[in-house]
């Protein structure tokens, strides 16, 4: 067994027979610890010591034992989805999460959704692009990008996230949301609360304070169009014709989006990095944080230093002040978009099945589609 190790500052290079590894650390102590481990393993190359060394050199290998990954010809694949290798940047991020005992589920879900994307260049480059500009990834695998919009004088009746949150909380506690009524509390800034219906009704079933009643919680959840507050409506800066509402999706046919990354300033819904987005709009401009499903990214054009992408759908998640920080102000949350997707799942998946027909990754994409159907059945 031939083992060689070289350390330069916080980077360690190790050669084990014909396999070469490289690890970079944030501090000298961690780099020195790995370097010393390589030297001690060279002195005593037992099976146990060698396995420990390789696990430290490639933390993602630990997931192979749990059947999360498979590895072929030096490439990592998600187990069960072996027709497309994971991009190196994504593998490295998963390795980092393993090292820090962080959940890898958001990254796994992100990759599964990205496998449904019919554009091979997007599957290869999207995560690298996102990492460069620190786009957050949610538990369900969506990512958060940004968009400049123009606020209009229009308002609409908006459903806040309170309804689905309270609904799910009661379900988790084993209660029946149909037994609860949403009411406004005049003693607490008209905050909405869920109260057992029999507590706020008389013996005849009439509400004691009907002016404070918003509605039955089950019915409000079933009918997400039941408004509880007015919210501003936005539109795009380019045409001024797109209706953009917080807590709603904006979409266009994928066939109408320019998927050629060599074409700049072309058709599509644009999502960008913060610095790119801040360059658009005027005094009535607003910045939105948007949830994007990786499979809906169509291209990452080269103009503006690769700071934007063209997508065929985004979910207006919340408002964000890009000049004073990145705190997202939103009455909505990820479940709202996930619920929307579940309602449109069958049509959505049928569309993507047609898109990937005959593609090299069709088998893998169909496996993801089958899994999503089972999850939401």
Q: Per-residue pLDDT tens for 322-347? A: 776 655 554 445 655 666 666 565 66
Instruction: Calculate mean pLDDT across residues 164-174.
Output: 71
pLDDT band at 282 (very low <50, low <70, confident <90, very high): low
Chain center to CA of 139: 6
For the question of whether the overall pTM of this predicted structure is more than 0.75, the answer is no
Q: Considering the chain, what percentage of its residues have pLDDT values greater than 70? A: 76
Q: Give the list of residues 6+ apart from residue 112 with CB closer than 8 angstroms, or none.
A: 78, 81, 141, 368, 371
What are the domain boundaries of the chain?
A: 1-57, 120-155+231-336, 161-222
Concatenated DSSP letters of 340-354? HHHHTHHHHHHHHHH
Q: Which of 65-69, 120-124, 173-177, 320-324 has the highest mean pLDDT?
A: 120-124
**What pLDDT, on a 0 to 100 scale, did the predictor assign at position 332?**
47
Is residue 167 left, alpha or beta, with left meaning phi > 0 and alpha meaning psi from -120 to 50?
alpha
Instruction: Calculate mean pLDDT across residues 98-125.
Output: 87
Burial pattern 313-340, b for ≥16 Cβ within 10 A else e, equals bbbbbbbbeeeeeeebebbbbbebbbeb
Q: Tokens for 88, please give them.
A: 């190196």
Burial pattern 248-285, b for ≥16 Cβ within 10 A else e, equals bbbeeebeebbbebeeeebebbbbbbbebbeebeeeee
Q: Per-residue pLDDT tens for 213-256? A: 888 888 877 765 444 456 678 888 878 788 888 777 899 999 99
Q: Per-residue pLDDT tens for 341-372? A: 665 656 666 666 666 666 666 667 677 767 76
Has residue 283 got a pLDDT over 80?
Answer: no
Instruction: Give the Cβ contact number of residue 291 at 10 Å.
Output: 26
pLDDT band at 305 (very low <50, low <70, confident <90, very high): low
Q: Any bridge partners for residue 271, and if so which?
A: 309
Q: Which of 188-197, 292-301, 316-325 has the highest mean pLDDT?
A: 292-301
**What pLDDT, on a 0 to 100 scale, did the predictor assign at position 372?**
65
**What pLDDT, on a 0 to 100 scale, did the predictor assign at position 331?**
46
Has residue 44 got a pLDDT over 50?
Answer: yes
pLDDT band at 154 (very low <50, low <70, confident <90, very high): confident
Q: Considering the chain, what percentage of its residues have pLDDT values greater than 90? A: 15
Measured distance CA(259)–CA(247) in Å, rounded = 26
Q: Per-residue pLDDT tens for 47-103? A: 899 888 887 887 666 666 566 788 777 688 888 888 888 888 888 888 778 777 788
Has residue 128 got a pLDDT over 60?
Answer: yes
Concatenated DSSP letters of 310-366? EESEEEEEEEE-TTT---EE-S--HHHHHHHHHHTHHHHHHHHHHHHTT-TTHHHHH
Instruction: Calculate mean pLDDT across residues 110-126.
Output: 90
Mean pLDDT (the chain, rounded): 79
Measured distance CA(70)–CA(81) in Å, rounded = 9
Q: With CA atoms as reference, report the closest residue to 90 among 72, 77, 99, 71.
A: 77
**What pLDDT, on a 0 to 100 scale, did the predictor assign at position 106?**
87
């Amino acid at each position: 067994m031939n083992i060689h190790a070289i350390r330069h500052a916080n980077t360690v290079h190790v050669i084990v027979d014909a396999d070469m590894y490289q690890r970079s650390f944030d501090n000298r102590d961690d780099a020195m610890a790995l370097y010393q481990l390589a030297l001690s393993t060279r002195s005593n190359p037992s099976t146990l010591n060698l396995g420990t060394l390789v696990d430290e050199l490639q933390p993602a290998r630990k997931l192979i034992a749990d059947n999360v990954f498979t590895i072929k010809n030096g490439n990592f694949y998600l187990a069960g989805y072996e027709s497309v290798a994971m991009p190196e940047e994504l593998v490295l991020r998963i390795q980092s999460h393993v090292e820090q005992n962080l959940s890898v589920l958001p990254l796994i879900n992100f990759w599964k959704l990205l496998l449904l994307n019919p554009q091979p260049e997007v599957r290869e480059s999207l995560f690298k692009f996102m990492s460069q500009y620190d786009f957050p990834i949610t538990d369900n695998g969506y990512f958060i990008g940004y968009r400049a919009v123009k606020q209009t004088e229009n308002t609409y009746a908006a459903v806040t996230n309170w309804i689905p949150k309270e609904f799910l909380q009661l379900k988790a506690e084993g209660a029946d949301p149909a037994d609860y009524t949403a009411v406004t509390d005049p003693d607490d800034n008209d905050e909405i609360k869920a109260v057992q219906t029999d507590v706020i009704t008389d013996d005849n079933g009439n509400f004691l304070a009907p002016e404070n009643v918003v509605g039955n919680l089950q019915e409000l959840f079933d009918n997400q169009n039941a408004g509880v507050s007015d919210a501003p409506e936005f539109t795009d800066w380019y045409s001024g014709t797109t209706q953009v509402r917080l807590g709603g999706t904006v979409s266009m046919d994928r066939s109408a989006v320019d998927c050629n990354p060599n074409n700049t300033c072309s058709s599509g819904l644009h999502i960008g990095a913060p610095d790119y987005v801040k360059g658009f709009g005027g005094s009535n401009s607003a910045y939105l944080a948007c949830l994007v499903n990786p499979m809906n990214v169509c291209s990452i054009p080269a103009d503006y230093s690769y700071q934007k992408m063209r997508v065929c759908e985004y979910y207006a998640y919340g408002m964000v002040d890009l000049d004073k920080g990145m705190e997202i102000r939103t009455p909505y949350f990820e479940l709202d978009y996930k619920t929307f997707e579940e309602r449109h799942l069958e049509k959505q998946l049928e569309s993507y099945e047609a898109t990937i027909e005959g593609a090299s990754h069709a088998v893998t994409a169909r496996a993801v589609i089958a899994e999503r159907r089972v999850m939401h059945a």
